[in-house]
Amino acid sequence: MSFRARFLLNMITAAMALLLVNLLWHKYEGLPWLQNRIINGGTILAGAAYLAAALISSRALGKTLRKLHSYLLKLELRDGNDHDVKLPDSAPEVAKLESTLERILENRRAETERLRQLEDYRKEFLGNVSHELKTPIFNIQGYISTLLDGGLEDETVNRDFLQKADRNVERLAGIVSDLETITQYEAGELELQRSEFDITEMMSEVVESLEFQAGRERISLQFQDPGKPIIVCADSFRIRQVLTNLGTNSIRYGKENGISRFKITPMGNKVRIEVADTGLGIPEKDLGRIFERFYRVDKSRSRNKGGSGLGLAIVKHIVEAHGEQIDVMSTEGAGSVFGFSLPIGPC
Ligand code: ADP
């Protein structure tokens, strides 16, 4: 119902009420003439005052609503930095309305910003993924076409090309597996399965598994074995992934005849784990960024050696899920040390 209709209805109700009161009063006849006039005059005056008051307040309400409307229009049009848009009315109800509106708008702005960031993240992620997948796919395509175009019968290239295609398939599988892992972790689906296990034994198994790769790159592996079992409380599957990623990097970015060193040091109720190398090192300006996904210092080396650019991002997620921090010290040209701690068991 419009304000005007409400106002009319109000008036009719008030007039009928006054009439009723007047009629009731007149039932008690016998009042003197003057008194009768005063009552009638008073009733008319009261009715007129009511009318005037209702008219004024309805006009005032209409004015406030018009102001509110233009305020809302201004709010709708303003940009994020314009804080001058204010409701020009100091009534407490209006102030409350204004602060509620501000809150709703603030939430909407925050939500829009969050959606924009998600969209940027999605675009960047998709761009990076297609870039990573492109190289091995094109390589495989190239080797297979050459083989089909007659290379298959050529004894000097057929085996070699098949092996190269196979290596690229392996790389593709590695990238897809890392992508799957990082997507899970970034979606917050990293639920740790903590258990007690011997980190010394795990470290020695990881070092052993890296021997072939290290031998190929002429890098020697050294494990400073603490000589006793050290039981930690952590997710053994994920910690093995951390040790493998750090160990693989120490070889991948190592120098010929260099060393990769694995160290475990008990420190109170924690154990510190370090993987050090005498390799290329990392320039100071890149140190803060190497844990970002797809960030690389030396792009061609990483890709040539089968890196997905996700290894350290995965390491960071896992270590932080354990409530610890991964740290790195590095000198360009001399080598790097990556380290983190784990709580000593029992769980
Ligand atoms: P990638 O698959 O490229 O190795 P990572 O996330 O494991 O991805 O590492 C990110 C980048 O950090 C690497 O591309 C490399 O430039 C640098 N990096 C990682 N570990 C080392 C290391 N031990 N020595 C020198 N640089 C390293």
pLDDT digits (tens, 9 = 90+) for 278-326: 999 999 999 999 999 999 998 888 877 878 899 999 999 999 999 999 9
pLDDT at 86 over 80: no
What the block records as the tokens of 301 is 């080396």
Ligand 1 neighbourhood includes 280 CB (under 6 angstroms):
yes
Choose one of 172, 277, 305, 312 to mutate for the ligand 1 pocket test, by most ligand atoms within 8 angstroms of C-beta.
312
Ligand 1 neighbourhood includes 247 CB (under 6 angstroms):
no
Q: Where are the domains of the chain?
A: 3-111, 118-186, 194-343
> Could you identify the atom of ligand 1 that is nearest to the CA of residue 299?
14
Better-scored residue on pLDDT, 202 or 55: 202
**Pick from 65-79, 190-204, 222-236: least confident:** 65-79
pLDDT (0 to 100) of residue 200: 97
pLDDT at 4 over 70: no
The alpha carbon of 247 and the centre of ligand 1 are apart by a number of angstroms equal to 11
Name the percent of the chain lying above pLDDT 70: 92
Per DSSP, the chain holds a count of helices (H) and strands (E) of 10, 7
pLDDT (0 to 100) of residue 248: 96
Fold of 118-186: Helix Hairpins (1.10.287)
Query: Sorting pLDDT into bands at 50, 70 and 90, what band is 3?
Result: low
Q: Is 35 helix (H, G, I), strand (E, B) or coil?
A: helix
The alpha carbon of 193 and the centre of ligand 1 are apart by a number of angstroms equal to 27
Could you give the CA distance from residue 346 to residue 200 in angstroms, rounded to a whole number?
16
Better-scored residue on pLDDT, 76 or 269: 269
Ligand 1 neighbourhood includes 302 CB (under 6 angstroms):
yes
**Pick from 8-12, 199-203, 270-274: least confident:** 8-12
pLDDT at 83 over 70: no
Contacts of 259 (CB under 8 A, 6+ apart): 219, 220, 221, 222, 277, 278
The alpha carbon of 167 and the centre of ligand 1 are apart by a number of angstroms equal to 20
**Phi, psi angles (nearest 5°) of residue 55:** -65, -45
The alpha carbon of 302 and the centre of ligand 1 are apart by a number of angstroms equal to 7
Query: Sorting pLDDT into bands at 50, 70 and 90, what band is 79?
Result: low
Secondary structure element (H or E) that encloses residue 329, with its range: strand 327-331
Q: What's domain 194-343's architecture?
A: 2-Layer Sandwich (3.30)
Mean per-residue pLDDT over the chain, rounded: 88
What the block records as the tokens of 137 is 């796919």
pLDDT at 178 over 60: yes
Atom 7 of ligand 1, nearest CA residue: 311
The alpha carbon of 341 and the centre of ligand 1 are apart by a number of angstroms equal to 20
> Could you identify the atom of ligand 1 that is nearest to the CA of residue 296?
14
Q: Residues 15-20: contacts with CB within 8 Å, 24+ apart?
A: 15/47, 18/43, 18/46, 18/47
Q: What is the DSSP letter of 264?
A: E
The alpha carbon of 290 and the centre of ligand 1 are apart by a number of angstroms equal to 7
Atom 14 of ligand 1, nearest CA residue: 296
pLDDT at 338 over 90: yes
**Pick from 69-78, 86-95, 197-206, 335-344: least confident:** 86-95
The alpha carbon of 197 and the centre of ligand 1 are apart by a number of angstroms equal to 28
Atom 23 of ligand 1, nearest CA residue: 250
Name the percent of the chain lying above pLDDT 90: 57
Indicate yes or no: pTM above 0.75.
Answer: no
124-138 pLDDT, tens digit each: 889 989 988 998 999
pLDDT (0 to 100) of residue 138: 95
Closest CA to 314 of 255, 210, 237, 231: 237
Choose one of 253, 274, 305, 315 to mutate for the ligand 1 pocket test, by most ligand atoms within 8 angstroms of C-beta.
253
User: How far is CA 193 from its chain centroid?
Assistant: 23
pLDDT at 195 over 70: yes
Ligand 1 neighbourhood includes 290 CB (under 6 angstroms):
yes
Contacts of 230 (CB under 8 A, 6+ apart): 198, 199, 200, 264, 266, 271, 344
* Domains 118-186 and 194-343 belong to one CATH topology: no
The alpha carbon of 297 and the centre of ligand 1 are apart by a number of angstroms equal to 7
The length of the chain is: 347
Ligand 1 neighbourhood includes 298 CB (under 6 angstroms):
yes
Q: What average pLDDT does the segment 176-191 reach? A: 89
